[in-house]
Amino acid sequence: TMKTGLIGAMREEILLLEHDIQNLKVHQYGARKFYEGTIGGKEVVMCLSGWGKVAAASTATTLINVFNVDQLVFIGMAGSLMENLQIGDIVVGDQLIQHDVDLSRLDGFHGIEPPFYKKFRFPVRQAAQRRALEAVKQFTYNLHDDKYPNINKQYRPKIHIGAIGTGDQFVASQKGKDKIVERHPELYCTEMEGAAIGQVAADYNVPCSVIRIISDNADEEAHSTFAKFLFEDISKISVEIARLMFV
C-alpha cells in the first residue's frame, strides 16, 4: 500500500486529522513538524506547509526525500475563477498551473533554450485524480446520508474536475482575476500551493493529488468571505475529505 504525504497550508485545513493518526511520531525538519503514523492501517506523514509556492515545494521535497512517501495529497481552499463555481464547491485538479510565471517575452527567442517545464503546467495522473475524486464523491454521499451532524444540512457542494491555478498572491479583485483568466482561461480556481507541489512531484516522478474547496470568489469581497469560510466551515469539510483518502 501507498505511503501518503498529506499537506495543508493552514492548520484549519488539516491539523484536526492529527487525532486520527495511530502510532504518531512527530519529527521536526527545519521550520516544520511532520506527523508520521497510520490511519486505518495506511501509512501517512502529515505536514502544515504554510502559505505559498516556496513553502509548499520545501514541504513536498522533505516528504519525498526524508519520508519516502509514494504519493502527495494536498487539501485546502481556493478562490473561484468561474461563474458556475460556487463557494463550498469542490475542485479535483486534473492539471496544476503556476499562473504567475511569465516567460512569454523569451518564447522562441533564438539561442535561448525553452524552459524545462514549458508553461509551468503539471498534469495530474489519472490514478491520482481518481483517488481524490472517490474521496470527494464519498464525502458528498455521506452528506446526503446526514452522516455529519456538525456540517450544515443545506451544504450540497458540486464536484468539478479541472485546472487549478497557483500563484504567490491572494487574489482579491476583479482586475486581478481578469489578468489571470486572460492568460489561463482554462483555470477553475486560484490558490497558492498546488502547482508548486505538482512541480516537485514531477521532478521525482511521484503522483500528486490536489483537492480544493471554494472559499471565496477572488473578488473585492474575497478577504472577508475567505475568513468566514476559514473559521466556520473549512476544518469540518477538509478533515472529512482527508479521512476518506485512507479508507
**Interaction site with ligand ADE (CB under 6 A):** 77-79, 170-172, 190-192, 215-216, 218, 222, 226
Q: What is the DSSP string of 161-218?
A: EEEEEE-SS---SHHHHHHHHHH-TTEEEEESSHHHHHHHHHHHT--EEEEEEEEE-S
| CB-based contact 161:89 (threshold 8 Å) | no
Beta-carbon contacts of 211 under 8 Å, excluding residues fewer than 6 positions away, are 73, 74, 75, 76, 90, 91, 92, 93, 132, 135, 136, 238, 241
- Nearest approach, Cβ of 189 to ligand ADE (angstroms)? 8
Among this protein's residues, is 13 annotated catalytic?
Answer: yes
- Nearest approach, Cβ of 225 to ligand ADE (angstroms)? 8
- Nearest approach, Cβ of 165 to ligand ADE (angstroms)? 9
Q: What is the largest CA-CA distance in the chain?
A: 62
Among this protein's residues, is 168 annotated catalytic?
Answer: no
Measured from the CB atom, the residue of 95 and 217 that comes closer to ligand ADE is: 217
- Nearest approach, Cβ of 44 to ligand ADE (angstroms)? 24
Catalytic residue among 13, 94, 191, 193: 13
Q: Which residue is nearest to ligand ADE (CB)?
A: 79
Measured from the CB atom, the residue of 62 and 190 that comes closer to ligand ADE is: 190
- Rounded to whole angstroms, the Cα distance separating 157 from 218 reads 18
Catalytic residue among 89, 191, 216, 233: 216
Measured from the CB atom, the residue of 89 and 191 that comes closer to ligand ADE is: 191
Measure Cα distances from 230 to 19, 223, 225 in Å: 20, 10, 9
- Catalogue the active-site residues: 13, 216
